Amino acid sequence: MNDLPLHFKSTALKFILRFLAIVATCGLATTTKLVAAVGDSSIAAGAYEGLLDDKSGYAEFVLDRRDSFSGTIFINRVSHPIQGRLSDTGQFIGFSTAQFPVSLQLTTQSGSIPTITGSAGGISFTAYRAAYIQGALATETGKYTLLLKPPGGNSGIPLGTGYATMAIGKTGRVRLTGKLADGEPFSYSTMVVGGPTGNQCVLHAPLKRLPVAAKGVTGFLLGAFTFEDLAQSDLDGAVEWLNPAISINTALRIVGARYVATDGGSALPGFTNGILGLSDTGLLSLGLIKQITLTSANKLIVTNPGLDHLKIKISASSGLFTGSFLYPGERKRTAFGGVILQRDSEGAGFFVSPPAGTSANVGLMP
């Protein structure tokens, strides 16, 4: 640097001061050679994702076959890029825009999915590598329906149940599309990664309410769900729902089940007759209860029609249901929607109550 012109020296110094150098020891849980294992793409290379331990953010990284490293740490609603590489001595040296200490450690162990553990600003995290690499077939492949259930007894959040459909490809790529209980749509792409108790998906989907986004602040969904064989579902987890536009900051429980669409088969196996219920905190506080029948052609028929003129239909290909009815005292029809869980032959969703414009409950059960 002594041979550089003065203004180049000044620029280089400012660059160095702006970036935080990160040195992370990359060790192994086994006794195999350090550099060989770190550089072995069949063991370590791939994409990594994980949540910060306090659920305030997430970490995602990519390690390639040449040991180049890049990623992002999202903390306090700010993204901090990181990039660098693994040295011949097994150390990671790189740069980040974060104004707080960052440490990283790569761990590989025979029979386990590699992890990158570390800390950002004193908050620990574990990021797990993609569960499927090099053409391996994902066992989670298929369609799913998911419910985002609100906690009970919290009057400060929408009462309805959010919902989503999910498709997982053969390589473990994931695509979610859904609606939150306030009516805001969301979509997100991710992948199946390893987890502490089984394969999981990490969700960090930004929300785009215009009044908030215009001020440079956006809400988000942040959490994870694990694939597991439970009594009434195939996955379970929790997600934080933050939306400053309407003062929402709460945890939602995620439950979901595989959805199998078959030609000529029932969208709700075992369901013939049941109940559709709608309720809110207003004129429907006692509930609007309708008797329904599911035909062999997957048509839902209301057997006790009334002045509400409720209509409902189900999509046999996706598991979504939609409908509308006349809310008491209203001339315009009110729409509702949700998804069904085939595993327990039930469904849930929401509608926006027209008098107050607030979220309300929809439930479908045998």
Which of 90-99, 129-138, 173-182 has the lowest average pLDDT?
A: 90-99
Are 104 and 48 within one domain?
Answer: yes
- pLDDT on residue 209: 65
Are 149 and 252 within one domain?
Answer: yes
Are 11 and 120 within one domain?
Answer: yes
Domain endpoint, select from 259, 287, 310: 259
- Whether residue 134 is contained in a domain is answered as no
- pLDDT on residue 87: 67
pLDDT mean across residues, the chain: 83
Are 122 and 188 within one domain?
Answer: no
- Whether residue 102 is contained in a domain is answered as yes
- Whether residue 84 is contained in a domain is answered as yes
Confidence of residue 21 (pLDDT cuts 50, 70, 90): very low
Closest CA relative to residue 116, chosen from 173, 50, 191, 65: 50
Average pLDDT over residues 19-28: 36
- Whether residue 266 is contained in a domain is answered as no
Which of 99-113, 167-181, 224-238 has the lowest average pLDDT?
A: 99-113
6 SS3 class: helix
Supply the DSSP string of 296-312, one letter for each residue.
TTS-EEESS--TT--EE
Confidence of residue 121 (pLDDT cuts 50, 70, 90): confident
Confidence of residue 210 (pLDDT cuts 50, 70, 90): low
Percent of all residues in the chain with a pLDDT value above 70, rounded to a whole number = 83
CATH number of domain containing 200: 2.40.128
Closest CA relative to residue 183, chosen from 165, 205, 204, 161: 161
- Whether residue 281 is contained in a domain is answered as yes
- Whether residue 147 is contained in a domain is answered as yes
Are 99 and 158 within one domain?
Answer: no
Taking only the tens place, the pLDDT of each residue in 48-106 is 999 999 988 999 999 988 888 899 999 877 889 999 887 665 566 788 888 888 888 88
Are 202 and 245 within one domain?
Answer: yes
Confidence of residue 29 (pLDDT cuts 50, 70, 90): very low
Are 255 and 298 within one domain?
Answer: no
- pLDDT on residue 215: 55
* Residue, of 154 and 147, whose pLDDT is higher: 147
- Whether residue 268 is contained in a domain is answered as no
Give the domain extent around 168: 142-259
- Whether residue 265 is contained in a domain is answered as no
Are 92 and 16 within one domain?
Answer: yes
- pLDDT on residue 3: 54
Residue 4 pLDDT exceeds 60: no
Are 63 and 155 within one domain?
Answer: no
Residue 212 φ then ψ, to 5°: -85, -45
- pLDDT on residue 216: 56
Q: What's the rounded Cα separation, in Å, for the pair 124 and 105? A: 11
Look at the chain and report how many structural domains it folds into: 3
Q: What's the rounded Cα separation, in Å, for the pair 345 and 349? A: 14
Are 113 and 218 within one domain?
Answer: no
Are 246 and 288 within one domain?
Answer: no
